[in-house]
Chain A
Amino acid sequence: MKTDIYESKIFKVSRRDFLKSTSMSMTGLLLGINLSCSDTSKKLVGNPDYIFSPNLFISLNGNGDVTLIAHRSEMGTGIRTSLPLVMADEMEADWSRVKVVQAVGDEKYGDQNTDGSYSVRMFFTPLRKAGATVRLLLEQAAANEWGVDVADCKANNHEVFHSSGKSLGFGYLAEKAAALPMPAEGSVKLKEPKDFKYITKQSSIVDLRDIVTGRAKFGLDNNHLPNTKIAVIKRNPEPGAGLKSFTSDNAVKVPGVLKVFTLDAPGFPTNFNKPLGGVVVVADNTWAALEGRKALDVTWSKGINADYNSLAYNGGMLNHAKAKGKVRRESGQIDKGLTSAKKIIEADYIVPLLSHTPMETPCALAHVHDNVCEVWAPVQDPQGVRKSLAEALGMDQKAVTVNITLLGGAFGRKSKPDFVVEAALISRTMGTPIKILWTREDDIQHDFYHFPAAQHLKVGIDENNKVTSWLHRSVFPPIGGTSDANSKEASGAELSMGMIDLPYAIENVCCETHESPAKIRIGWLRSVANIHHAFAVGCTLDEVAKARGVDPIQNVLDLLGNDRTIDFNSLTSEFWNYNEKLEDYPWSTARFRNVIETAKEKSNWGKNLPKGSGQGFAAHRSFLTYVACVVEVKVDANNKIRIPKVDYVVDCGVPVNPERIKAQFEGGAAFAASLALKSEITVKNGAVEQSNFHNYQVGRMSDSPYETAVHIIESNEKPTGVGEPPVPPFIPALCNAIYAATGKRIRQLPVRLT
């Protein structure tokens, strides 16, 4: 087992920003008593007004209070807790003395785009170093105070102890530590993993009490700006298309309605930053705005997607998938391999458009005044929001402040700044603070949807029962098509999410795509293209096992071959390793094998189950995290699918916050069950047909797993994310379990048994 933990290479904050000495003395108001004199035998505190800020993320005052900056957005993953815990651990701070403060959007914090499951991966080591540097400064300050060697001084739980047993408190040492020069980089020693106090240990989230008491502030919960007005927008049902005419006569008669005006439509393609335009209704209160909007009489223009019908479009994608396409990865001779095969497995897979539907719809509070813009919004990418606001308002970014509230779910939707830009543009027009509300109908009908996909797989097995050929065609509109009409075919990154990163040792492999231009705004949804690729690959592998007459888990282990790291760059020039180099985060079949074998053991794989029940298996690496999943289903006489048990095995390197890792996997299972069993967006004549939870169904308690066991592999490998990796393998494991229970193959989502 390795004892050191390697650092991510893509961290962009400079060492200077992390370690700069910007200690400042607070003069002026004296608040309370200087406690430093109260106990001369044990000096715990110093000047309470002194704040020691050795870096951007950590400050310590003379009372010993620690403030840690959370610079990533909290949408339910627990990141607002997990990264501060990392700093506190290395600093030897007492967690009960720590206050977590959310950073505003500012490039000085480095990457803040909370997306792609990389927060822990990117910031684990830099924030450990930030904490360890402060620990060393405090130890040095104590050593100087005592006139002893720093090597004999050790920080422990908010105090520094000398080997003789005497100690000084962090508060007392704050001002003295601030006077010291920054230690040389080599002198900062990170903790040994065995000495972790918070990292890898259980911990509750910092917002827990505020959440259960209703005090937590989400996007629409800030009521501190006087004269705030409420805005809603009526948008063209065909996203991006314009307005022909409207009358507001009845709308303005609604008591409380203040103003009705238009925002320009962007056309199509558009981009992530631009609002969709439409007719804006501003009112004194939310209900007046909604009633005013209802009273509008609007005639819309038709845009270039007025002929978009999703059923026909998906059928067209599938027709393409059945024909030879553009080769994106190829080894061996696929045609020859398939021709000479003894058995052929051939299957087509369809996944529909999906909406994110976070429980909190897009919303924001914005105030544009005196050449500045302030917003309070639930956003994943605060720096992107800041830039978009500056562009939309013609302001310098320095004039724009983006305060990040808690996000009431996001799943990728709130990485787009469009709704915040709406609020700011309306605030500028009105001259008052504006809260924008997206109703659930707005959300479901004007999302950046998860792409629909059609896939065709053809697998050849030779006379020795060996899989020799694997043909995979994947057709879906790329996310790039939302903003670029020339982007018509899946990108290498999108294909590296479960298609061209196929790890199996098969002689003839061919991966192909076709063009499929976007006809609606497409965006990334939790685990992105892994959703449809893992579904098709995982279900096809189950069919291959059946055809070979081999247990499904044994089948995958057979195909995986010897333990090795796979150099995908030599297999295709388009491989993408989630923005990391393969040498830093290799594709390890040994780690993959380990999660699979552990899942077999932990799930009691192959146990006897009554008729109508079954187990299914799938494994998938995404976002550099290795996951194996066994799902047990029970299908009753009415074809209601129940999920009594799920077993996940996850290897995400060092498990930084195991409690939240478990939560992400439990929730990921429910999220995946929801999309697999319930959800589908359809489009007719350019307009989304669903509007609310009655016709865009999502998983409720009875649709979700009853019990999810999460087995975390102990590891000192570099930590990787867990927000998205639970979703991909669950879906094929579920569908394979349905096959085991009913004999019915599922090749189209959502699952329909009748």
Chain B
Amino acid sequence: MATYQLIVNGESREVEAVPNTPLLWVLRDNLSLTGTKYGCGVAQCGACTVHLDGAPVRSCSTPVSAVGNKKVTTIEGVSSGESLHPVQQAWMDENVPQCGYCQTGQIMAAIALIEKNPTPSDSDIETAMSGNICRCGTYERIRKAIKRASNAAAK
């Protein structure tokens, strides 16, 4: 066991974990941040997507020991109180979710895309979202929601 000081959603959090523990399980087990989901454990599905210094990573395949000083942002940290992040709002406006399980990972991937590329093309969206699986098949609405958020940001 080792002690790590993580910066999670803007707060300093001390956690004890063995060094190779995936960040996913530290977030869920140690910090009870359950919005980040387990889907495959091998960086194939994107359900566990969080941001490290704003870049999307698969927390299931990121050892806690590799996080260091990088700022961790989870779905719980992208908006505060009653105001939603524009991407979350677009997700609501387009009624994207069905079961909802993968959607937090999808939203984290979409936020990272829009912050890097505020006006993504269809092809940009497909590339950025190709690592995120949705078994309910909400892909059409995910694309629409990203465009909606992109248009809102452009205004």
- A residues within 8 Å of B by Cβ? 74-78, 204-205, 207-209, 211-218, 220-221, 223, 230, 255-256, 285-288, 291, 357-361, 406-411, 437, 439-441, 659, 663-664, 666-671, 673-674, 692-694, 698-702, 704-708
Contact = CB atoms under 8 A, between A and B. Distances in A.
B25 A285 contact: yes
Contact of B101 (A77, A223, A409): A409
B138 A440 contact: no
A213 B137 contact: no
B34 interface: yes
B99 A663 contact: no
A255 B101 contact: no
Given A285-B29, A406-B99, A440 B35 contact: no
Given A212-B97, A670-B134, A704-B139, 18 more contacts: A208-B95, A211-B103, A212-B104, A214-B104, A407-B99, A408-B102, A409-B136, A439-B41, A440-B45, A666-B137, A693-B133, A698-B133, A699-B137, A701-B132, A701-B139, A701-B142, A705-B140, A706-B140
B37 A702 contact: no
B42 interface: yes
Given A204-B92, A701-B126, A670 B21 contact: no
B99 A212 contact: no
A208 B34 contact: no
Most B-side CB within 10 Å, residue of A212, A287, A361? A212
A216 B25 contact: no
Given A286-B29, A359-B102, A701-B126, A694 B42 contact: yes
A674 B40 contact: no
Interface residues of B, number: 59
B119 interface: no
Contacts of B44: 692-694
B137 A670 contact: yes
A707 B95 contact: no
A255 B19 CA distance: 12
B34 A221 contact: yes
Most A-side CB within 10 Å, residue of B28, B40, B100, B132? B100
Most A-side CB within 10 Å, residue of B38, B45, B104, B142? B38
B17 interface: yes
Interface string B118-135: 000000011001101111
B113 interface: no
Nearest to B103: A211
B39 interface: yes
Contacts of B17: 285, 287
A359 B47 contact: yes
Contacts of B96: 212
A668 B25 CA distance: 32
Interface in B35-84: 35-42, 44-45, 47, 74-76, 79, 84
Contacts of B95: 204-205, 208, 659, 663
A76 B28 CA distance: 23
Most A-side CB within 10 Å, residue of B37, B76, B140, B143? B140
A209 B35 CA distance: 12
Given A212-B92, A214-B104, A357 B143 contact: no
Contacts of A360: 37, 39, 99, 101
Nearest to A703: B139
A359 B34 contact: no
Contacts of B39: 359-361, 440
B25 A287 contact: yes
A476 B65 CA distance: 50
30 contacts: A74-B99, A207-B97, A211-B97, A211-B100, A214-B76, A215-B35, A220-B28, A230-B29, A287-B17, A357-B135, A358-B135, A359-B37, A360-B99, A407-B99, A408-B37, A408-B102, A411-B135, A440-B41, A440-B45, A670-B138, A670-B139, A670-B140, A673-B137, A692-B44, A693-B42, A693-B45, A701-B126, A701-B139, A702-B130, A704-B139
5 smallest beta-carbon distances between A and B, as pairs: A214-B35, A670-B137, A408-B101, A76-B99, A214-B75
Contacts of A230: 29
Contact of B140 (A218, A702, A704): A704
A408 B102 CA distance: 8
A458 B5 CA distance: 69
B18 A408 contact: no
A693 B135 contact: no
Contact of B99 (A408, A694, A701): A408
B84 A212 contact: yes
A664 B36 CA distance: 25
Contacts of A698: 133, 135
Interface string B85-96: 000100110011
Contacts of A215: 35
Contacts of B102: 359, 408
A208 B18 CA distance: 36
A693 B131 CA distance: 11
B8 interface: no
Nearest to A284: B29
Contacts of B104: 211-212, 214
B148 interface: no
B90 to A, nearest CB: 9
Nearest to A209: B92
Contact of A76 (B47, B100, B130): B100
Given A212-B97, A214-B74, A287 B22 contact: yes
B99 A409 contact: yes
Contacts of B136: 76, 359, 409, 667, 670-671
A359 B98 contact: no
Contacts of A705: 140
B154 interface: no
Contacts of A212: 84, 88, 91-92, 96-97, 103-104, 107
Nearest to B145: A212
A519 to B, nearest CB: 26
Contacts of A211: 97, 100, 103-104
Contacts of B99: 74-76, 358-360, 406-410
B92 to A, nearest CB: 6
Contacts of A217: 34
A211 B97 CA distance: 8
A92 to B, nearest CB: 25
A421 B104 CA distance: 29
Given A440-B40, A692-B40, A693-B133, A359 B101 contact: yes
Most B-side CB within 10 Å, residue of A286, A441, A664, A705? A286
B22 A669 contact: no
A704 to B, nearest CB: 4
Contacts of B79: 213
Contacts of B40: 440, 692-693
Nearest to A443: B40
A729 B51 CA distance: 40
B37 to A, nearest CB: 7
A437 B97 contact: no
B18 A287 contact: yes
Given A437-B38, A439-B41, A666 B138 contact: yes
A284 B138 CA distance: 36
A212 B1 CA distance: 34
Nearest to B142: A701
Contacts of B141: 663, 666
Nearest to B32: A223
Contacts of B18: 255-256, 287-288, 291
Contacts of A700: 130, 132-133, 139
Nearest to B105: A359
Contacts of A207: 97, 100
Contacts of A75: 99
Contacts of B143: 701, 706
A594 to B, nearest CB: 26
Contacts of A699: 137
Contacts of A409: 99, 101, 135-136
